[in-house]
């Protein structure tokens, strides 16, 4: 029988659950366990925090939880780990993993840290235009926090070739984290776009964890899945041509079906024939899906086209603040009282001279989620939360939102329910812009550590 490798998911984002990762490590019979823990603004938020808090190590704040949960089983079974938990400090994350390995009694384990994605100091020289608005990137100079290129799988595969048991990275494109083991195990040439494309497509199916095994899917009466409190994270059984079976540990909740797989296949995809990653351009329009057993979907024929000459760069900038708060109405007439409360707030924002780029006053229960897409004839609910938010240039302006909501307690409308403020009602906005950089200008470097 031809070689098959088993790649499992350990996380789909920073806040993801840890228990399914531990289960995949224990019972997934995995060759590789891969973690995706970053969002668009993760790097910039980490930079802001690192400036304020010198004790912040700059890697995934759940690194300890995740590693303690999976290291024993992974080390016992020879499962290798690929993870982007390095955030802005892959070396630091690798050293922390060394600490846990020693603590658990595993000595002589090789760990690689992939650096090089951070290009904050060079980004204005290396890039030309902002993709979203066509302006020169140097217009961001005054507000720039951080810039990082999305690296591909090549350096991870190289680290695996060098014998690293665990590879921890900074910013790497999400599917590449899951594809790198395929590239290494099957010896794919990085320019073999057919196989790399197929593998990246499978990586895309894995990168959002439970979203392919029944998470973000249940819709009672239409799309029901068993035990949605106990989703298993996905496992791909991958073959040398980049085809794979998507499955999960037996006995876990959720489901792997044609429906769950195709929903994930188009998740965050724009042109399905041209899904651009650092490694390849993936074509999902040729893919074939087949249910070959319970919770087993075979995925073949995902296409690939040659990779682009550039890498995507994310540029995080300070863009002011958001002030936000809410208060509540219930019972007969709740909507009328909420409407009067909105009118009072609008007037008071004028009185205090709130300078805002945008103000939003929603009725949670009616239009706070779908906004202007809410049908005009939506029924009046029994309870309504009035939710107020404004985006401002300064924190002083943002504070006014919460202060005026405070005023609604005794100077507002009958039957107003309100929380005593117990948390900061302002937050900083880190705007994220995109640009492109020639790929040869962003060389990755790998540092090795041993437990």
Tell me how far apart the alpha carbons of residues 296 and 123 are, in angstroms, rounded to a whole number.
Answer: 44
194 binds another protein, rule: CB under 8 A? no
286 binds another protein, rule: CB under 8 A? yes
Least separation in angstroms between residue 153's CB and another protein is: 20
308 binds another protein, rule: CB under 8 A? no
Residues 251-280 that bind another protein (CB under 8 A): 259, 262-273
Nearer to another protein by C-beta: 24 or 211?
A: 211
Long-range contacts, stretch 102-106, CB < 8 angstroms, 24+ apart: 102/451, 104/68, 104/71, 104/72, 104/75, 106/71, 106/75, 106/451
Taking CB under 8 A as the rule, which mask of x and - marks residues 3-42 in contact with another protein? ------------------------------------xxx-
Residues 346-365 that bind another protein (CB under 8 A): 358-360, 362, 364
Nearer to another protein by C-beta: 30 or 299?
A: 299
b/e map 101-121, b = 16+ CB within 10 Å: beeeebeebebbbbbbbbbbe
204 binds another protein, rule: CB under 8 A? no
Nearer to another protein by C-beta: 189 or 358?
A: 358
216 binds another protein, rule: CB under 8 A? yes
From its phi and psi, is residue 371 left (phi > 0), alpha (psi between -120 and 50) or beta? left
A 10 A CB-CB count for 216 gives: 15
Residues 314-333 that bind another protein (CB under 8 A): 319, 322, 324
A 10 A CB-CB count for 188 gives: 23
- Torsion (CA) 300, 4, 22, 73 in degrees, nearest 10: -170
Least separation in angstroms between residue 163's CB and another protein is: 36
Taking CB under 8 A as the rule, which mask of x and - marks residues 103-122 in contact with another protein? --------------------
Least separation in angstroms between residue 324's CB and another protein is: 8
Taking 3-state DSSP, the helix, strand and coil percentages for the chain, each rounded to the nearest 5, stand at: 35, 30, 40
Q: Which tokens hold the place of 332?
A: 């007969």
Nearer to another protein by C-beta: 104 or 289?
A: 289
- Residues 6+ away with beta carbon under 8 Å from 133: none
- Residues contributing to the site for another protein (CB under 8 A): 39-41, 132, 216-217, 219, 221-223, 259, 262-273, 284-289, 319, 322, 324, 358-360, 362, 364, 368-375, 387, 389-391, 429-432, 434
């Amino acid at each position: 029988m031809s070689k098959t490798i088993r790649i499992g998911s350990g996380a789909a984002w920073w806040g993801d659950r840890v228990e399914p990762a531990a289960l995949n490590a224990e019972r997934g019979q995995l060759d590789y366990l891969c973690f995706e823990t970053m969002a668009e603004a993760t790097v910039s938020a980490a930079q802001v925090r690192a400036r304020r808090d010198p004790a912040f190590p700059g890697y995934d704040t759940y690194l300890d939880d995740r590693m303690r949960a999976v290291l024993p089983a992974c080390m016992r079974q020879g499962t290798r780990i690929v993870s982007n938990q390095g955030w802005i400090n892959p070396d630091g994350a690798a050293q922390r993993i060394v600490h846990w390995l020693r603590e658990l009694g595993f000595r002589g384990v090789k760990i690689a840290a992939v650096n090089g994605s951070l290009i904050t100091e060079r980004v204005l020289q290396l890039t030309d235009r902002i993709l979203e608005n066509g302006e020169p990137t140097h217009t961001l100079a005054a507000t720039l926090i951080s810039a990082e290129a999305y690296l591909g799988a090549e350096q991870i595969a190289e680290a695996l070739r060098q014998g690293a048991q665990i590879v921890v990275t900074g910013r790497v494109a999400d599917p590449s984290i899951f594809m790198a083991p395929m590239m290494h195990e099957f010896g794919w040439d990085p320019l073999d776009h057919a196989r790399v494309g197929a593998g990246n497509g499978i990586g895309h199916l894995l990168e959002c964890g439970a979203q392919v095994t029944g998470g973000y899917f249940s819709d009672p009466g239409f799309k029901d899945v068993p035990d949605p409190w106990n989703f298993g994270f996905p496992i791909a059984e991958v073959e040398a041509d980049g085809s794979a079976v998507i499955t999960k540990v037996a006995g876990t909740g959720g489901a792997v079906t044609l429906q769950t797989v195709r929903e994930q296949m188009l998740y965050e995809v724009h042109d399905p024939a041209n899904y651009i990653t650092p490694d390849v351009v993936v074509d999902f329009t040729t893919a074939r899906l087949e249910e070959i057993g319970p919770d087993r979907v075979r995925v073949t024929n995902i296409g690939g086209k040659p990779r682009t000459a550039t890498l995507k760069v994310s540029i995080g900038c300070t863009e002011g603040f958001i002030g936000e708060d809410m208060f509540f109405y219930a019972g007969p007439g709740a909507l009328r009282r909420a409407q009067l409360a909105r009118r009072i707030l609008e007037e008071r924002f004028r009185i205090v001279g709130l300078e805002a780029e945008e103000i939003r006053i929603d009725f949670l229960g009616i239009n706070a989620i779908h906004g202007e897409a809410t049908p005009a004839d939506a029924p009046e609910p029994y309870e309504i939360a009035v939710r107020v938010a404004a985006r401002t240039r300064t924190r002083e302006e943002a504070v006014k939102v919460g202060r005026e909501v405070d005023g609604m307690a005794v100077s507002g409308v009958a039957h107003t329910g309100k929380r005593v403020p117990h948390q900061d009602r302002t937050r900083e906005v880190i705007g994220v812009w995109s640009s492109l950089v020639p790929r040869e200008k962003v060389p990755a470097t790998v540092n090795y550590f041993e437990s």
